[in-house]
Amino acid sequence: MADNINQIVQDCNVLLLAAKTHQPELAEYGVTTEEVQTFGTAIQTLETKDMAHKEAMNAYHNKTTLQKAKIAEAAKEIWKVREIAKGVFKPDKAKMKEFNIGSALPVAVAEILNELLYIKEVATRYKTELSARGLKDEDLTALQTIHDELAAADSDQENSLSLQTAAGVEKKTVLKETKLMAYRIRQSAAVCFADNPEVLKEFKSIIKRKKSASSTDTGTAADTPADSTEPAT
Q: Is 100 left (phi over 0), alpha (psi -120 to 50) or beta?
A: left
Does 228 reside within a domain?
no
**What value does the mean pLDDT take over residues 98-127?**
96
The rounded distance, in Å, linking the Cα atoms of 79 and 94 is: 18
Does 138 reside within a domain?
yes
Strand, helix or coil for residue 25: helix
What would the pLDDT profile of 134-178 be if each residue is shown by its tens digit?
999 999 999 999 999 999 999 999 999 999 999 999 999 999 999
What would the pLDDT profile of 196-232 be if each residue is shown by its tens digit?
999 999 999 999 877 655 544 433 333 433 444 455 5
Q: How many beta carbons lie within 10 A of that of residue 233, not counting itself?
A: 6
What would the pLDDT profile of 12-46 be if each residue is shown by its tens digit?
999 999 999 999 999 999 999 999 999 999 999 99
Does 224 reside within a domain?
no
Does 102 reside within a domain?
yes
Q: What is the CATH number of the domain that holds 56?
A: 1.20.1260
Confidence band (pLDDT; 50, 70, 90) for 3? confident
Does 217 reside within a domain?
no
187's CB contacts (< 8 A; 6+ apart) are 224, 226, 228
Query: Which residue range is the domain that position 163 belongs to?
Result: 5-201
CA distances, 3 to each of 6, 48, 108, 135, 228 (Å): 9, 15, 34, 55, 17
CA distances, 161 to each of 52, 122, 191 (Å): 13, 35, 45
Q: How many beta carbons lie within 10 A of that of residue 209, not counting itself?
A: 11
Does 66 reside within a domain?
yes
Omega cis (within 30) before 106: no
Does 233 reside within a domain?
no
- Which one-letter DSSP state was computed for residue 126? T
Q: How many domains does the chain have?
A: 1
Closest CA to 13 of 216, 215, 198, 207: 207
Strand, helix or coil for residue 93: helix
Does 88 reside within a domain?
yes
Strand, helix or coil for residue 103: coil
